[in-house]
Amino acid sequence: MAEDTGARNRYLSAAAAASTAALLIRHPIAFYIAALLGLMTADPDAMNKAMEQWKTTQAGGKTDELATLRDSVKSLIERLEEDAKWEGETAKTVKDTMTAFLKELDKAAGLRDGVGDALGSAAKLYDSLSWVAVSIGSVMTAYAAYMAAAIAFPQLRLPAMVAINPALQQSSQTTWGLIKKQLLFLALLSPLFGGAYALSAQQGAEIQKMAAATPFIGGHGLGNDPTSKRPIPTPVMSPDAAGAAKGQPDTPNPVTGSTSK
């Protein structure tokens, strides 16, 4: 489980310190820096938690549904081949469909791991930038303390403002540079998230088309023998036909000779 880094609190503390300092400094650049620090605020801990939810258990995450589904489908294929000794065209059709489904599951797992890795990278970047935000907030606090001391001596206020003006400009450039890094990183991640959405939609469409066209004849499908628990051809009928058949004698199974009762 990802540990809390406290980065969000650092962002909030830095923004609060810069805002308070700007009220004391009363310089346009000081308010600009405070606003930029507010824009930088993020929650890397939430990103780390989202990363764990996105990544599969094989990649160190918490998503185990895909692995469970994959194992279940593989087990079904093995049971059909080894236990039921199911062969023929129908068996091949079903197996091909299941194999294609397994491939799509593997793609989905890789997709989730990729998005999880991107979230983890974003969390690391924002965590490191939170320390820079704290340093900027501390510098702003020092500027404010200097200006507060100058207030006691009105004749020093103007010289003090002139003195810290270059420092404020440098701090604003540094803060804006951090904002640009964040924007660039988000721009690089956008194609990944967009591709993940598109691939998910494509997989959904593919899976919808994976209905096995079993060429049974005589209205029979694949069912389970109540005694052996093995797959056997079983009569299949629509709900209307099933309703019409109520009260009629049971039809023996063409393979086992047994009836449904």
Give residue 162's pLDDT: 74
User: How far, in Å, CA of 14 to CA of 104, rounded?
Assistant: 46
User: How far, in Å, CA of 126 to CA of 181, rounded?
Assistant: 10
Give residue 166's pLDDT: 81
Q: What is the DSSP letter of 83?
A: I
In a domain, 188, yes or no: yes
Residues 191, 221, single domain; the answer is no
Residues 169, 256, single domain; the answer is no
In a domain, 240, yes or no: yes
The residue ranges of DSSP E strands in the chain, in sequence order, are 220-224, 231-235
Residues 45, 77, single domain; the answer is yes
Residues 185, 225, single domain; the answer is no
Residues 232, 124, single domain; the answer is no
Determine the structural domain holding residue 33 and report its residue range: 7-208
Q: pTM of the full predicted structure?
A: 0.60
Long-range contacts, 65-71 (Cβ 8 Å, 24+): 66/105, 66/108, 66/109, 66/112, 67/109, 69/105, 70/102, 70/105, 70/106
Q: Is 220 helix (H, G, I), strand (E, B) or coil?
A: strand
Residues 12, 138, single domain; the answer is yes
Residues 165, 228, single domain; the answer is no
| Cβ-based neighbours of 62, under 8 Å, separated by 6 or more | 52, 53, 55
pLDDT in tens, the chain (261 residues): 556 778 889 999 999 999 999 888 888 888 888 888 888 888 888 888 888 888 888 888 888 888 888 888 888 888 877 776 777 777 788 788 888 888 888 888 888 888 888 888 888 888 888 898 898 888 889 888 888 877 777 777 777 777 777 878 888 888 888 788 777 777 766 666 666 666 666 666 666 665 544 445 555 555 666 776 666 666 655 545 555 555 555 555 544 455 554
Residues 145, 128, single domain; the answer is yes
User: How far, in Å, CA of 143 to CA of 146, rounded?
Assistant: 5
In a domain, 2, yes or no: no
In a domain, 187, yes or no: yes
Residues 55, 135, single domain; the answer is yes
Single out the residue in 166, 190, 208 at which a domain terminates: 208
Residues 221, 130, single domain; the answer is no
Give residue 259's pLDDT: 54
What is the domain count for the chain? Answer: 2
Give residue 16's pLDDT: 92
Residues 77, 100, single domain; the answer is yes
